[in-house]
Each structure stands twice: as C-alpha cells, then as structure tokens.
Amino acid sequence: MTACMMEESTRFQASEREIILVDDNDYPNDIGESDIFGNVHVGEGLYLNKDVYERLYGYQKKALLWFWDLHRKKKGGILGDDMGLGKTIQVIAFLRSLTETIPSLKLRVLLVLPATLIENWIREFNNWAPKMCLYKLHGNLLMYQKRCLLYQVQMTGGILLTSYGILRTLKYELSHKEGQPFVWVSIKSLDV
C-alpha cells in the first residue's frame, strides 16, 4: 500500500493551477509540452505527469482523452480489448491525470475487480501513481473493520479496490454514507 501523504511542495504547486472547463477551442495548442509543474498537456485541458505520459503508448494516450471526454460529459463507457494491452495502466493514468488537472478534486473511486487481480492493481498503482491514496477492501477483515475503512474513504477520498464478492456483501454500505445515497466514480474491470 502507498502512503497518502502529499509533500508540501506538491500541494503548493497543485493549488497554483485550477482548470476551468470551457469550450474545447479555448484550450492551448501545446499538446505534449510540459508546464512548470512537470505535467504534459495531453489535450483538451487534460494534464498528466511527464514521466507517466512518456511511458504510455499512443493508443493509451488517446484512451485518456476518451476518458476525459466521458468524464466532462458525465457519461460512462466501457474500455475493452485483448488482454495485455494496458487497460489497467490506462485507468490508473487517467485517475492520476484527474488529480493533476483538477488539484482540488477529492477523488472517491470504487474499483470492482476479480479478487485475483487486486494485488496486481496495487502493484500497478504503486508503479504508475505512487502518491494516490489507495485502499484494499478485501481479505480477512472483520465486518466492523470493513465498514470503518469504507467510511474513511467516503469521508476523506481515495481509491478503494474491492472484489465482486465484497460488493455483494456490502452493497448497502457501498451505496450509502450516513444513511444517504452515495455516488462513487465507479470503474468495473473487464479483466477476467
């Protein structure tokens, strides 16, 4: 697991740039160029850490823009292709780009995965987005511990990885916070 602490300098840098979503024609034509924060303009106002951006394939960069377009339209989508083409990395890179594009955004993401892939996702998060707050809701936790962990993520933000089994077991808790409906940024893995 990764630590959820952010360096003071990172917090300061992030607060210096707030993105206001406007018409696509209003974005600068500096795609692929780095800003003063070390982030690359992917396109349409989306930014990503330069080191991560340079490690992505062209089709993965296009997927980031597709995710961004869906996000701005408040729509969902399904990313499906052959195994081994980097869907996990594309999702992680997009989540990281959200935090770099909109620094004030408090992400509360629920990733529902086959239990056998949870550890792989943790490794990939540690590789591609090591500063993101990551939590695992799976394994030999007592029900009280599961509820406490879930409440913590709902209140403070973070990325919660869980399995389909836990989703069935805690469906009410996952969909409510303090008795009120709760909406996650929900991503279902198609890696089966």
Q: Token pair for residue 135?
A: 């939590």
For CATH 3.40.50.300, the residue range(s) in the chain are 106-192
pLDDT at 13: 31
How confident is the model at residue 20, as a pLDDT? 35
pLDDT of residue 181: 84
pLDDT of 185 reads 67
The CATH number of 106-192 is 3.40.50.300
Q: Kindly list the averaged pLDDT for each block of 10 residues, start to end, along the chain of length 192.
A: 33 32 45 76 91 93 93 85 86 92 85 93 96 90 87 90 91 87 64 42
Residue 54 class from Cβ within 10 Å (0-12 exposed, 13-18 middle, 19+ buried)? exposed
| pLDDT of 188 | 45
The pTM score is: 0.76
* E strand map for 104-143: 108-113, 134-137
